[in-house]
Chain A
């Protein structure tokens, strides 16, 4: 599973509301919250809209920040937060709901242009943009930033390496070697100070999403200190570091007067100061959020179990909660090679036999996850929530249909199968135990095999040889995407060409010619609606193949303090959009 927490908006809002008769209707003024907001309102609309500036916006996080360096991070919260001081070529629109998954120009003057064969992308920068020291932001600084985070042995370790995989560049070994840091780096051209031309090895449909990564935030070469650059990132956004940052000591941002709001489509820059406290215990963060002594839990993953348990049962407190999806889909791979699951009817029998309610319970019922009936999470274009080939939406098993299918596949009394799971993840173990009981009802005897999560994705479930030797017909798994597109989400787990010897993510070893062909085709399709149609088609084919047993789309429970203004959940980040937040707290 990809490390970064990203995903898609709050489709589950409606389901969550059914839990209680008094949770409000998702509209204005639903309940008894301090300012008239209602349960889960922030998932779909802006709560406490405001353009009042001033005050101090207070963040806290239970660990240290992964890094403050936009070039050295793979955590969604840093991608979201670093935009305060690091503008990227493109970014996501500041809007709730699916509108928030749309890409908009940030440093760029307009959306990039691509040549006919899809291998050459041209990006124009806005002119006159300045760093905090008043010097101008030029195209070469963006190129340098991409070089330091992607190329050579000393490339910054934390972030993904998409540019390195995609750019048509063979022999460039990073900026830290010779005298001229960009010597030999030809895959990105900078014909003038405001133009970047990217040359790709082959067409890549989702390249625009790659351009929205924080790695595209400009870094002046003479300010770069490798990993130490995080101590003072040269700001291109509305805020700059007040003092040098030392990991563990927290971060204070103050206004950057060189930033011009007219050039910026997404940042409201309401607070005067922004503070981040690091290493605060999760329970303390939650308590201080409730007390109004803190505005945002920076990690964006929601309340810890203690406070969550306390608040979800409290009718008044619920109005301060949002319950969006996290973008993670937890599902079971049904291997298409292991007997007897190489037989389609046997796979379908498993689909019918498993009641999804048992899986949902492991994540905390309706608040913890929404029952999935297809592969694509609900807010990725192409996701079709109506797609439910195995009548899974009810959450109940369908034993009669399962037995019919068992008959059809020649195992009327059931069969033996192994199911792999990460045994140090309690929720996953609980889910698998529920699946085991469901399967036993129709005579399918599933033997649970537990493995350490450290090695699971690489050596056990991630190795087709291991899966074959140990007859791991079923494997419990979870998946999140780096960006909200069907290709980004599905290609590694469903494309037959993506099957690998180790670290394999297409664990069901689905190698369907029709699906593979669609993946090849969609790369050169430009029309988003046509793309979405193809993703929906792939999803349907996968479900017809019964290669994935959808489980739940995970949801988090986030506390939204009354003092926070302009709050909404952005499905691209899977957390509140930090760039628009304001506070009534003036400290």
Chain B
């Protein structure tokens, strides 16, 4: 994934040039308005955005959806499963009827059933979206906050502060994250920090992902800040006696919103995959809570009898990651005035 390194820099150039050429008709538009105009014309990005919005709705209204279809996510349907092969029977009344290659997809069970215990896959995918999105959003938020603060401080102050923070970023990027995650899951008890059970597990996931992904954002913010701090408006503020905090968060930060927003959108799919990987390794939330990554990891043991069980969570992750990426790419293009209008 490439970073929108120079978007706001050129954006800063744009307005004075426009003024110099006397194109006053664009003067009244803010950067956001320009970006929105561009975004509206980018159908692919809008499609991605619409899917993301839909997904969020699905996650929020998961209980309503499953209640409507009538299958709680942890309800067993063992009568539909062949105990020997563990797959879904073609005919539940005939134990020798063989395995249904679609995994029992029907009007009753839209996406079929899980092997072994026969839980409804549609309900589990819908509920799984909650955990996957929650972890992805929260961890992205965490790394945006850490990355922005440290990046802006490093870029603006420079000197030894910059050296320390930059080396810290290098160390975090080099850290063997998955090993750390497994070790941490072993050390943290089931009740800590006033949280317990899945709330704690989610907090740990968010912490691991967010805490080790912040340098990606941090580096970009630092780079942007390095150029912004030399600009006239910053010097003006400084000469008028503004404090460091004021300059950092009132003068520089607003100019960083666009790249941060864009990069965060592109980081979310990475974090969804990360959550999947951690669940895959057994350090995710506790069963029977469904997560996409957890389902994918379990499904591999049954891929021969229930190929749909591999495909559906895989597809859910794939489509979601794709949608976020398309939307993020569109957002970046929209904020980058060098791209054609």
**Nearest 5 A/B pairs, CB to CB:** A365-B83, A424-B282, A306-B304, A423-B282, A426-B301
Let me know if A424 and B304 touch, CB within 8 A.
Answer: no
B211 interface contact, C-beta 8 A: no
CA distance A265 to B204 in the complex (A): 60
Asked whether A312 lies within 8 Å of B84 as measured between CB atoms, the reply is yes
The verdict on B197 contacting chain A, using a C-beta distance below 8 Å, is yes
Contact between chains at A455 and B182 (CB < 8 Å): yes
Q: Mark B173-187, 1 if CB is under 8 A from A, else 0.
A: 000000000100110
Check A451–B185 contact: CB distance below 8 A: yes
B residues near A422, Cβ cutoff 8 Å: 282
Q: In the complex, what residues of A have CB within 8 A of residue B300's CB?
A: 426
**A-side interface mostly:** helix
B190 is contacted by which of A313, A360, A418, A433 (Cβ under 8 Å)?
A418
Q: How many residues of A contact B (CB 8 A)?
A: 44
B158 within 8 A of A: no
A447 contacts partner chain B, Cβ-Cβ < 8 Å = yes
> Contact at A364–B85, with CB atoms within 8 Å?
yes
Total of A-B residue pairs, C-beta within 8 Å? 107
A452 an interface residue at 8 Å Cβ cutoff?
yes
B284 interface hit (Cβ, 8 Å)? yes
Q: Which residues of A contact B303 (CB under 8 A)?
A: 305
List of A residues within 8 angstroms of B74 by Cβ = 433, 437
Q: Is B47 in the interface zone, CB < 8 Å from A?
A: no
Q: Which residues on A are within 8 Å of B, measured CB to CB?
A: 19, 305-306, 308-309, 312-313, 358, 360-362, 364-368, 418, 421-424, 426-427, 429-430, 432-434, 436-437, 447-455, 459-460, 466, 469-470
B297 near A364: Cβ-Cβ < 8 Å: no
Q: Can you show 7 pairs from A to B with CB atoms below 8 A apart?
A: A306-B304, A309-B87, A364-B85, A426-B302, A449-B190, A451-B185, A453-B282
Is there an interface contact between B85 and A312, defined as CB atoms closer than 8 Å? yes
Q: How large is the interface on B (under 10, 10 to 19, 20 to 34, 35 or more residues)?
A: 35 or more
Given known pairs A423-B284, A433-B117, A448-B286, the reply for A470 and B302 (CB within 8 Å) is no
Kindly report which residue of chain B lies nearest to residue A309, judged by CB atoms.
B85
Q: Which residues of B contact A466 (CB under 8 A)?
A: 189
**CB < 8 Å neighbour of A436 from B84, B96, B288:** B288
Q: Would you give the shortest CB distance from A65 to chain B, in whole angstroms?
A: 25
Residues of B within 8 A of A437 (CB): 74, 76
Interchain CB contact under 8 A, B83 and A424: no
- Would B78 and A313 count as touching, CB distance under 8 A? no
Name the distance in Å between B6's Cβ and chain A's nearest Cβ: 43
* Contact A367-B84, Cβ < 8 Å, known A305-B301, A421-B287, A433-B288: yes
Contact A430 B116 (CB under 8 A): yes
Question: Once bound together, how far apart are the Cα atoms of A422 and B302, in whole Å?
Answer: 17
Q: Does B298 contact A (CB under 8 A)?
A: yes
A434 to B282, CA, bound (A): 19
Chain B residues near A459: list those with CB within 8 A. Answer: 186
Task: Indicate if the CB atoms of B84 and A313 lie closer than 8 Å.
Answer: yes
B102 at the interface (CB under 8 A from A): no
Alpha-carbon distance between A453 and B182 when the two chains are bound, in angstroms: 10
**In angstroms, how far is the closest chain A Cβ from the Cβ of B313?**
13
